[in-house]
Structure 1
Amino acid sequence: MASPVLDPAPTRCRVVMAPNHYIKDQPTIFLSGSIDAPPATWQSLLTAALSHLPVTILNPHRADWDSSWREEIDFPPFNEQVNWELDAMEAADVVAVFFNPTSPAPITLMELGLFARGKKMVVACPKGYWKRGNVQIVCQRFGVEVVDNVGELADRVVKLLGDLGAMKES
């Protein structure tokens, strides 16, 4: 018999990594932001904070990503990745965004511009991010909440899911 002390806590969330197919049968959260090097990434911290919830987390990180890939529309793996991300952001109930101060994150800035109007975005933008003022102004304009860290981001994701009616009482 396994020890309850040593067994990991049960998880209710499902994590889908790009470019895998997913079924939208529960609330979904897309992780938009810089792709950090393991072991501790903002994505893993946020996923751990939400693991007790019945949600699907759509993570654009791709284990097989090859930095030699051409970032061109006619290069199939790149095209597949970008389209997976766009489709996942459109399908998500919440887009959780993290601007890491150590990364310029130009794609994340573009994603902010594309989806800020949709009222389904929560942003963490710590002090030190090079375009923090721009992020704050865009978010203020479109009523997107900005927080300072991943812990606050997790709290706001849960609140937004509730506000949108995506979380049902279980």
Structure 2
Amino acid sequence: MRRLLTLSLLLLFSADSFAQNYQATIIKSPNAIPPEDNRLKIFLGGSIDMGKSENWQARIEKQLSNYNVVVLNPRREDWNSEWKPISTNKNFRKQVEWELSALEASDIIVMYFAPGSQSPISLLEFGLYAKTDKLIVLCPDGFWRKGNVEIVSEKYNVPTVNTFNELIVELKKLL
């Protein structure tokens, strides 16, 4: 009986040691992207509009919080809308260079085009990565260039959805 109890306890504790409790790592610009971290990296690209757009990135971070991934979020807590968007502005340059590095390091790029937004930088990034098989796009009705996004997505087989819930479902399929 004692042997059976000991064996049962060993199995119980062994099973607990196999349980995985994951937590996503969120890295926001301008923090360093650790090159030695081999987990799946997900870049959250899309409408920010100098901080005026909904913080949709926080919604995705919450949905991915229990996954063993690294989320790369370009939305800065300390963004200053008075920084001039010129290459000689050190803060602006640092932001753009961080985004370029994060895009390159990413395994998956989520691209969100918000209704009512123009998102010219997001369109540029979308074009840069349309042929890479990294993109998943959320482009609901109301985005001013939805037709352009749809045509490029069709041509290069970019998965494109219309709702946030569809985006989460498609994203989780990739994890």
Q: Which residue, out of 51, 56, 72, partners 2:70? A: 56
Q: Which residue, out of 28, 31, 51, partners 1:20? A: 31
Q: Distance in 1 between matches of 2:163 and 2:61?
A: 14
2:85 matched residue in structure 1: 71
Contact map agreement 2:48 2:54 (CA 8 A) in 1? no
Contact map agreement 2:44 2:72 (CA 8 A) in 1? yes
What are the residue-to-residue correspondences of 1:1-170 with 2, within 5 Å?
A: 12-23=23-34, 24-35=37-48, 41-161=55-175
Runs of 4+ in 1 over 4 A off after TM superposition: 36-40
Contact map agreement 1:45 1:150 (CA 8 A) in 2? no
Contact map agreement 2:129 2:135 (CA 8 A) in 1? yes
Unmatched 5+ stretches in structure 1: 1-9, 162-170
The amino acid across from 1:147 in the alignment is V
The amino acid across from 2:109 in the alignment is V
In the TM superposition, what whole-angstrom CA distance separates every residue of 1:60-97 from its partner, at most 9, and x where no partner exists?
A: 01111111111111111111100100110010000001
Contact map agreement 1:46 1:151 (CA 8 A) in 2? no
In the TM superposition, what whole-angstrom CA distance separates every residue of 1:107-144 from its partner, at most 9, and x where no partner exists?
A: 11111000111001000000111110100000111110
Q: Distance in 2 between matches of 1:12 and 1:39?
A: 27
Q: Distance in 1 between matches of 2:74 and 2:166?
A: 21
Unmatched 5+ stretches in structure 2: 1-20
Q: Distance in 1 between matches of 2:145 and 2:69?
A: 31
Q: Distance in 2 between matches of 1:19 and 1:150?
A: 26
The amino acid across from 1:16 in the alignment is I
Q: TM-score, structure 1 length as denominator?
A: 0.83
Q: Distance in 2 between matches of 1:38 and 1:138?
A: 27
What is the count of residue pairs matched by the alignment?
152
The structure that has the greater radius of gyration is 2
Aligned-residue offset at 1:160: 2.9
Aligned-residue offset at 1:11: 6.2
Q: Counterpart of 1:67 in 2: which secondary structure?
A: coil
What is the percentage of aligned positions where both structures have the same residue? 39
Q: TM-score, structure 2 length as denominator?
A: 0.81
Q: Distance in 2 between matches of 1:38 and 1:111?
A: 19
The amino acid across from 1:64 in the alignment is D
